Amino acid sequence: MKNTFVFRMNDSLHNGLSYDWKGQEIPVNFLDDVYGDKNIYSTPQDLLQWSRGLREGILFTKETLEAAFTPYSHEKPGIKNYGLGWRMNVYEDGTKTTFHNGWWHGNNAVFIHLIQPNATIIVLGNRFTRNIYKAYKLAGIFIPSLRKVLAEPDHEGHGAP
């Protein structure tokens, strides 16, 4: 992963400015010193390497990944859930999709890590728009049983912020 980095305040001298959906500059603020849930920037190629590293057991043991992809939150009825750092939808037929989105300073991302079948969907945007979360509907290409539910106009499987 040669093109992934954690933004640091001194990087602001070398990186381009960020803009909101109206074209207004987004200034650097105190939350730019928070790392992990924001300020990690990557490319589709590097994120695909990350996904492959998860699948091939290079980064974590099988047991750790199973724990991470287990739904724990159950905070409200429905398909939406949260594991250890992963959002997921668990459908009535037992089908599960795992994903996480990113958003910061006008950039947003969709990273869908489908365990079965072995597929990854990555979409990055440099101008915030909720339309990017429509990428979730692509899961129906890989999981035919989801095509109908994902096609419903009120389906909120994207987990958008």
In the chain, the percentage of residues whose pLDDT exceeds 90 is 31
pLDDT of residue 157: 46
pLDDT of residue 36: 73
Mean pLDDT rounded to a whole number for the chain? 83
Q: Which two tokens stand for residue 150?
A: 């994902």
DSSP string, the chain: -TT-EE--GGGGGTSPPEE-TTS-EE---GGGG--SSS-EE--HHHHHHHHHHHHTTSSS-HHHHHHHTS-----SSSSEEE-SS-EEEE-TTS-EEEEEEEEETTEEEEEEEETTTTEEEEEEESS--GGGGGGGGGHHHH-GGGHHHHHSTT--TT---
Place of tokens 């590293």: 53
pLDDT interval class at 6 (50, 70, 90): confident
pLDDT of residue 129: 81
In the chain, the percentage of residues whose pLDDT exceeds 70 is 89
pLDDT of residue 16: 67
What's the predicted TM-score (pTM) here? 0.82
pLDDT interval class at 161 (50, 70, 90): very low
> Lowest-pLDDT range, 94-98, 105-109, 152-156?
152-156
Compute the distance between CA of residue 24 and CA of residue 130 in angstroms, rounded to an integer.
Answer: 18
Residue 129: Cβ within 10 Å count: 11
